[in-house]
């Protein structure tokens, strides 16, 4: 199983980014979590096989 940790900054809160990320994760059988930070960034922790992670991270 492969794990990735991503922090996304910019305009990512209040625009449906977490919901979109969750949808893409479900579609690719990814497990993990997504959370907002007070500084406006969004943090993602995701795990899956190589193909799943590659497809997830390309979206």
Residues carrying an active site annotation = 18, 36
Report the side by side order of strands in the sheet with 2-8. 2-8, 42-48, 31-36
The H-or-E segment that residue 55 falls in is: helix 50-58
């Amino acid at each position: 199983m492969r794990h990735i940790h991503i922090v996304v900054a910019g305009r990512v809160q209040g625009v449906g980014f977490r919901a979109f990320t969750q949808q893409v994760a479900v579609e690719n059988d990814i497990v993990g979590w997504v959370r907002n930070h007070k500084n406006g960034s969004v943090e993602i922790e995701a795990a899956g096989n190589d193909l799943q992670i590659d497809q997830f991270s390309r979206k």
